[in-house]
Amino acid sequence: MIHQVCKLPVANQLLSDIMALQIAILEAAAQVQILDMVLDPAVFTPILQAHLETKRRFRGRSDAIARWIMTSNRGVRNSLVEPLNAFANASQVEKAQFVADIQRDIMLLYRPKASTFKVTVLENEPLGWRKSARNFLYEFYDLWQTGFPGYIFSASNEKYSRQDFIREFEKLNPGLFICAVCDGSAYITKAVKHIYTSVDHFFPRSIYPHLSCHPLNLVPICSSCNSYIKGDNNPLLLNGQHFQLIDFILPYQRLEIAFSKKAYIAVVKRPPGRNKLQHPMQLELKPARDFQAGNKIIAFENLYRVDERWSESLDEIEDHAFRRITQFLTLIDPVNLTTDPAALIRYLKALMSQTDLENIGKDPYAFPMVWLFKSYIDQIEAQKENAPVFIALKHWASFNCRRWEVLEAHSLEIERRLPDA
Ligand SMILES: [Zn+2]
């Protein structure tokens, strides 16, 4: 992640109940073996209820929960019972191992190590009991859209929906207005009663269905990152490369470990053979001096291709940066500053610091902009009056020496657009 995101205590608590419930249901289904028979709600409901009653966090509410599972209709069919039925038709030993592996994977995501998940379900796998378990978990996640009933939860009795999760994320990340992955665009749109966003499953639910409700696997990001770029790609096996959990800066990790704090961006020449429409320079994410990055940058770039996306938007990022410089200079002394490289460097350093302290996570591309400013500073330090950015700013200042008067006149023009009071 480029930006740090804060953990969500309510989601952590409520979704841990949901994962425990999913496991308990699979455990109950793993105990029964009704070969080639339709799982009869009249038979399975009491089995499920009795099993839930053995779990402390569901005790006393097992009846309501079991009935909800067995009657959770979406459309004409019961979305949970059908796949559960198919899951029941497998050997008890295999199913018990599967459920144990799921539990291990869930714990692993709470404490990531140099390993990978045990359970993966592949799209092209034949429809067997494993795929049925996937479909059960998949359908379960979809029920979150309208909300899980309050009686599921051990520490709340209010309905809990995906929208509640998004609201908690927004509330606990108050300074984050920009997608935590790409730094390029807003990640939410608000209407009167709804916040629209893409909730990314960092480990896709199509491959890791048992992590579909894991609170540390769910993060609201922009839809370009989620749908167009990442899609269902498997972070742990991508472009022929295998990765482990510790190869990532996972969402909600401890403070101060996002790339905006632990990496810098190098502005370098594109290798020969670029398309003529492409910018001659490109941006590359690199580990900061004190950061033991391991595979973290490679794994992140493999998944979200942020370097490439920033480089393709470099004209736009430069435009943002240049306007920030000229707006800053307008308020100081544009003509004198653009005759003195040393003075200009001092102001560019102030602007670089201010952008790093105040704009990151709030304005699009603030992170690459900090490092564009740094590249301009280096350029002026090396080439003084001959630095292209110095020449461009001098040119700008000579045409805008009466900038204040122009802006004052324009402010009157803006105010004139309002109707008379
Ligand atoms: Zn994004």
Per-residue b/e over 294-317, b at no fewer than 16 CB within 10 Å? eebbebbebbbbbbebbbebbeeb
Question: Cα(2) to centroid of ligand 1, in Å?
Answer: 10
Q: Which of 5, 220, 213, 237 is nearest to 109 (CA)?
A: 213
User: Three-state SS for 303?
Assistant: helix
Question: Cα(221) to centroid of ligand 1, in Å?
Answer: 6
Question: Cα(1) to centroid of ligand 1, in Å?
Answer: 10
Question: Cα(277) to centroid of ligand 1, in Å?
Answer: 24
Q: Please report the pLDDT score of residue 400 as a whole number.
A: 84
Beta bridge partners of 261: none
Question: Which pLDDT band, with edges at 50, 70 and 90, does 124 fall under?
Answer: confident
d(CA 270, CA 374): 18
Could you read off the pLDDT of 333-363 as tens digits, one per residue? 777 778 899 999 999 999 999 999 999 999 9
Taking phi over 0 as left and psi of -120 to 50 as alpha, with beta for the rest, 360 belongs to beta
Question: Which pLDDT band, with edges at 50, 70 and 90, does 79 fall under?
Answer: confident
Question: Cα(364) to centroid of ligand 1, in Å?
Answer: 10
d(CA 159, CA 151): 8
Q: Domain-by-domain residue ranges, the chain?
A: 9-145+161-242, 314-414
Question: Which pLDDT band, with edges at 50, 70 and 90, does 78 fall under?
Answer: low
Question: Which pLDDT band, with edges at 50, 70 and 90, does 36 fall under?
Answer: very low
H helices of 8-154, in order, are 9-31, 41-53, 62-71, 81-88, 92-110, 129-143
**pLDDT of residue 399 exceeding 90:** no
Question: Cα(147) to centroid of ligand 1, in Å?
Answer: 26
Question: Cα(302) to centroid of ligand 1, in Å?
Answer: 14
Decide if 377 contacts 348 (C-beta within 8 A): yes
Question: Cα(252) to centroid of ligand 1, in Å?
Answer: 16
Residues 6+ apart with CB under 8 A from 267: 281, 282, 283, 371, 372, 375
Angle at 10 between CA 107 and CA 79, to 5 degrees: 70
More confident residue, 330 or 160: 160
Q: How far apart are the first and last CA of the chain?
A: 49
Question: Cα(266) to centroid of ligand 1, in Å?
Answer: 20
Question: What percent of the chain shows pLDDT beyond 70?
Answer: 96
Q: In which element (H, E) is residue 263 found?
A: strand 263-269
d(CA 103, CA 121): 15
Question: Which pLDDT band, with edges at 50, 70 and 90, does 39 fall under?
Answer: low
Using the Cα atoms of residue 255, residue 256, residue 260 and residue 264 in order, give the sign of their dihedral: negative
Question: Cα(304) to centroid of ligand 1, in Å?
Answer: 9
Question: Cα(290) to centroid of ligand 1, in Å?
Answer: 26
Angle at 17 between CA 105 and CA 73, to 5 degrees: 100
Q: Please state the pTM of the whole predicted model.
A: 0.93
Question: Cα(190) to centroid of ligand 1, in Å?
Answer: 17
Quick one: how many helices (H) and strands (E) in the chain? 17, 10
Residues 6+ apart with CB under 8 A from 15: 165, 213, 214, 215, 218
Question: Cα(64) to centroid of ligand 1, in Å?
Answer: 40
Q: Which of 145, 18, 135, 119 is nearest to 80 (CA)?
A: 135
Question: Cα(366) to centroid of ligand 1, in Å?
Answer: 14
Q: In which element (H, E) is residue 381 found?
A: helix 366-383
DSSP state of 224: I
Question: Cα(3) to centroid of ligand 1, in Å?
Answer: 11
141-155, 170-184, 338-352, 393-407, range with the lowest pLDDT? 393-407
Q: Which residues surround ligand 1, an ion (CB under 5 A)?
A: 179, 181-182, 222, 225
Residues 6+ apart with CB under 8 A from 183: 2, 3, 260, 306, 310, 361, 364, 365, 366, 367, 368
